[in-house]
């Protein structure tokens, strides 16, 4: 077990956020935080990464981990090239040039490494965001809506990268509103709606217990739609 959350809450003035969430994260597995816009996914990730502190409840780390993080958006300096962005962020993690080259190749940006970020499409900026999160050896990788802006090819490549990280022994936590994507890759699921947990646990076990073949159909049932 990596961490246990007990009655975790962080509600904002608009009444959005996270409300009395209790769950656990298991080491060496892929956990998908799924749900629609405003469900509380990003709030939960900000709590996990320490960007915010809960208003109430506890977040208890069984094993404190160095975290690699991909936010839902980064406003990279537009006049820097992809290489310069990665060099800058790699310097903060003491990552050498070989690994910098490796991550740019993993996300398909090596051939455009000398282009300025202002010339990048949304998908290319998202892949640069992914690249910076892959720097270093932190055993916990957290990705906030990593599919945003990616075309079908790069969504498929993202799946491969997440599975590669798991194969190296990394714990991966990612948020998504794409239930099919979560179902294809996650070991465990935590589904949020209006800041509350609809279901959580081993994905295959949940589907079997509920006698549903897809997460989407089960989600619709839980919402009574």
The confidence score (pLDDT) of residue 84 equals 97
The confidence score (pLDDT) of residue 222 equals 84
What integer is the mean pLDDT of 159-167? 97
CA distance 129 to 11: 27
Render pLDDT for 49-97 as a digit per residue (tens, 0 to 9).
999 999 999 999 987 778 999 999 888 999 999 999 999 999 988 899 9
The confidence score (pLDDT) of residue 144 equals 96
pTM of whole model > 0.75? yes
The confidence score (pLDDT) of residue 64 equals 75
Q: DSSP readout, 183-217?
A: HHH-SEEEEEETTEEEEEEEHHHHHHHHT-S-HHH
CA distance 76 to 88: 11
Residue 108 burial class via C-beta count within 10 angstroms: exposed 0-12, middle 13-18, buried 19 and up: middle
Phi-psi region of 210 (alpha: psi -120 to 50; beta: other; left: phi over 0): alpha
* Full set of structural domains in the chain with CATH: 1-66+142-225 (3.40.50.300), 76-137 (no CATH)
Render pLDDT for 170-182 as a digit per residue (tens, 0 to 9).
999 999 999 999 9
Render pLDDT for 171-214 as a digit per residue (tens, 0 to 9).
999 999 999 999 999 999 999 999 999 999 999 999 999 998 89
Render pLDDT for 16-45 as a digit per residue (tens, 0 to 9).
889 999 999 999 999 999 988 888 999 999
């Amino acid at each position: 077990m990596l961490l246990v959350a007990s009655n975790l809450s962080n509600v904002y003035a608009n009444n959005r956020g996270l409300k009395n969430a209790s769950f656990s994260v298991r080491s060496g597995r892929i956990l998908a935080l799924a749900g629609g816009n405003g469900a509380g996914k990003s709030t939960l990730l900000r709590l996990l990464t320490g960007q915010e502190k809960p208003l109430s409840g506890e977040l208890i780390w069984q094993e404190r981990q160095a975290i690699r993080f991909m936010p839902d958006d980064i406003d990279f300096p537009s006049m820097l090239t992809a290489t310069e962005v990665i060099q800058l962020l790699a310097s903060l993690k003491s990552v050498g040039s070989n690994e910098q080259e490796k991550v740019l190749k993993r996300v398909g940006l090596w051939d455009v490494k000398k282009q300025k970020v202002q010339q990048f499409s949304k998908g290319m900026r998202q892949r640069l965001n992914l690249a910076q999160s892959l720097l270093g050896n932190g055993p916990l990788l957290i990705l906030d809506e990593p599919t945003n802006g990616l075309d079908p090819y790069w969504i498929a490549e993202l799946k491969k990268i997440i599975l590669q990280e798991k194969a190296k022994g990394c714990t991966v936590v990612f948020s998504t509103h794409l239930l099919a994507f979560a179902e294809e890759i996650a070991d465990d699921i935590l589904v949020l709606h209006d800041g509350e947990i609809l279901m959580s646990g081993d994905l295959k076990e949940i589907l079997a217990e509920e006698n549903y073949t897809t997460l989407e159909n089960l989600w619709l049932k839980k919402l009574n739609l």
